[in-house]
């Protein structure tokens, strides 16, 4: 199957790391692993985060021109080289898909969307135009793959049929996530020496971009929770960077030498960092599901997180980690304390986490699921819109 792939929020080769970029790359790999040819249709980024209607209109007009150019380009190809399916990853009101619907319609190929969300409250807000575009795209979709179960309620009424929705479990490559496991003890000793702490101390880990809004709010709640645990022995490693770095650093100032700033890490470096930790900690305020939560579990690290969005779909509280009410610093502190105090529970949860990711959230499992869902669409041809 020849697939035209597009991610309006962030292309898979975008220079700034994020969970969106990671999932875009993983979807391409899963499609390829299933035997499909994947072509990046465009790097056009439709994201407009400030709520400026004039800029949104310019992006819409640019998107229309790019779509027409793609149609001309694809039509010049022989039939054996034209895409058989259009696949858009992650559309919503701030990053609508201006390309997929017109291109797939012109070529007569199925239009598939993975991870779509819709917020009715934005219909009369500053992103009203993006809402309309998202509604239009979802109405045109032959299949919407739901990576976050929380999106279903608002997306399903916009589809032509309930049969146009199918769940797809978020996934990682467990083999890549576990490349550092065998060297974890040596890496931990080396890191402890370089940072100046006892390697026997419980190591907490957070990996997150430092941005205003939900990310900063999560960092602040994490600092608030850990400030309640100063009587226990722990060290916190933070891997991340971004425009809110100064605010994040200030938030943890009172915790002093317990907190270590490692800067932004690429995926390969993170695979060696996860297994160094004893507990992965992240409040997950307004998190969709959180790729890092899956990556940590794949490396055998139990997670403490806030229960929000699709987090409950990938972290099973009491089995692979502990989930607490989102935004509750006291409950978060209590859950972290529980795992700090019990090496046996940490070990059990970590083992179960690695096994669960391998069984339910692996690249191979996603490849099989995608192939099963997409192949019939192409075989039967495009459904009527």
Which pLDDT tens digit goes with each residue over 50-106?
Answer: 999 999 999 999 999 999 999 999 999 999 999 999 999 999 999 999 999 999 999
Average pLDDT over every residue of 217-228 = 99
**7 and 148 within one domain:** yes
**150 and 56 within one domain:** yes
| Domain membership flag for residue 286 | yes
| Domain membership flag for residue 372 | yes
Global pTM value: 0.88
Determine the distance from the C-alpha atom of residue 189 to the mean position of all C-alpha atoms in its chain, rounded to a whole number: 31
pLDDT for 385 equals 45
**290 and 165 within one domain:** no
Q: Does the pLDDT value for residue 316 go beyond 90?
A: yes
- HSE (side-chain half, CA atoms, 13 Å) at 8: 33
| Domain membership flag for residue 95 | yes
> Based on the structure, what is the number of domains in the chain?
2
**83 and 214 within one domain:** no
**199 and 150 within one domain:** no
Which residues, 6 or more positions from 286, have their beta carbon under 8 angstroms from its beta carbon? 213, 214, 217, 308, 309
**59 and 162 within one domain:** yes
Average pLDDT over every residue of 293-297 = 96
| Domain membership flag for residue 253 | yes
| Domain membership flag for residue 289 | yes
CA distances from residue 241 to 27, 123, 213 in whole angstroms, order as listed? 25, 33, 14
**368 and 309 within one domain:** no
List of E strands, the chain: 2-6, 37-40, 85-91, 111-116, 143-146, 165-167, 202-207, 234-239, 259-261, 279-282, 303-307, 321-325
| Domain membership flag for residue 311 | yes
**138 and 221 within one domain:** no
**237 and 371 within one domain:** no
Q: How far apart are CA 131 and CA 300, in angstroms?
A: 40
| Phi, psi (degrees; rounded to nearest 5) at 212 | -60, 160
pLDDT for 372 equals 97
Q: How far apart are CA 346 and CA 331, in angstroms?
A: 18
Average pLDDT of every residue of the chain? 95
CA angle 382, 29, 274 (to 5 degrees): 140
DSSP characters for 124-171?
TSTTHHHHHHHHHHHHH-SEEEESSGGGHHHHGGGSS-GGGEEE----
pLDDT band of 266, cuts 50, 70, 90: confident
**277 and 368 within one domain:** no
pLDDT band of 268, cuts 50, 70, 90: confident
**366 and 356 within one domain:** no
Range of the domain at 254: 174-360
pLDDT for 382 equals 63
Q: How far apart are CA 293 and CA 220, in angstroms?
A: 18
pLDDT for 288 equals 85
pLDDT for 383 equals 52
Q: Indicate which CATH number applies to the domain containing 194.
A: 3.40.50.2000
pLDDT for 290 equals 87
| Domain membership flag for residue 385 | no
Which residues, 6 or more positions from 298, have their beta carbon under 8 angstroms from its beta carbon? 172, 174, 177, 178, 274, 353, 354, 357, 358, 361
**230 and 138 within one domain:** no
Which tokens hold the place of 334? 């209590």
Q: How far apart are CA 369 and CA 356, in angstroms?
A: 17
Which tokens hold the place of 157? 């009424």
Q: Does the pLDDT value for residue 318 go beyond 90?
A: yes
| Domain membership flag for residue 304 | yes
């Amino acid at each position: 199957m020849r697939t035209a792939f597009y991610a309006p929020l962030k292309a898979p080769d975008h220079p700034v790391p994020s969970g969106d970029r990671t999932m875009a790359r993983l979807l391409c790999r899963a499609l390829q692993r299933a035997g499909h040819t994947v072509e990046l249709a465009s790097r056009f980024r439709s994201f407009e985060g400030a709520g400026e209607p004039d800029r949104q209109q310019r992006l819409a007009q640019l998107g229309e021109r790019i779509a027409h150019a793609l149609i001309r380009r694809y039509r010049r190809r022989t039939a054996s080289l034209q895409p058989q399916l259009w696949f858009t990853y992650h559309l919503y009101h701030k990053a609508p898909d201006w390309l997929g619907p017109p291109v797939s319609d012109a070529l007569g190929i199925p239009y598939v969307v993975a991870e779509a969300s819709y917020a009715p409250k934005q219909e009369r807000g500053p992103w009203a135009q993006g809402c309309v575009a998202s509604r239009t795209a979802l109405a045109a979709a032959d299949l919407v793959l739901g990576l976050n179960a929380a999106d279903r309620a608002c997306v399903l009424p916009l589809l032509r049929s309930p049969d146009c929705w199918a769940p797809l479990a978020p996934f990682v490559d467990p083999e890549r996530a576990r490349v550092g496991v065998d060297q974890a003890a040596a890496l931990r000793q080396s890191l402890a020496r370089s940072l100046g702490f006892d390697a026997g101390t419980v190591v907490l880990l957070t990996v997150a971009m430092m941005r205003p809004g939900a990310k900063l709010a999560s960092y602040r709640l994490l600092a608030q929770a850990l400030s309640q645990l100063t009587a226990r022995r722990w060290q916190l490693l933070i891997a991340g960077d971004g425009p809110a770095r100064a605010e994040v650093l200030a938030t943890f100032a009172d915790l002093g030498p317990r907190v270590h700033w490692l800067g932004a890490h690429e995926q390969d470096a993170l695979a060696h960092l996860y297994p160094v930790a004893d507990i992965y900690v992240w409040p997950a305020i307004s998190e969709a599901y959180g790729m890092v939560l899956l990556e940590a579990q794949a490396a055998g690290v139990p997670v403490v997180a806030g229960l929000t969005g699709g987090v409950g779909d990938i972290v099973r509280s009491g089995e692979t980690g502990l989930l607490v009410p989102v935004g509750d610093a006291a409950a978060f502190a209590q859950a972290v304390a529980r795992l700090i105090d019990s090496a046996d529970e940490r070990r059990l949860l970590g083992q179960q986490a690695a096994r669960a990711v391998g069984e339910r959230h692996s690249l191979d499992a996603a490849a099989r699921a995608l192939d099963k869902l997409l192949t019939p669409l192409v075989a039967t041809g495009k459904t009527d819109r």
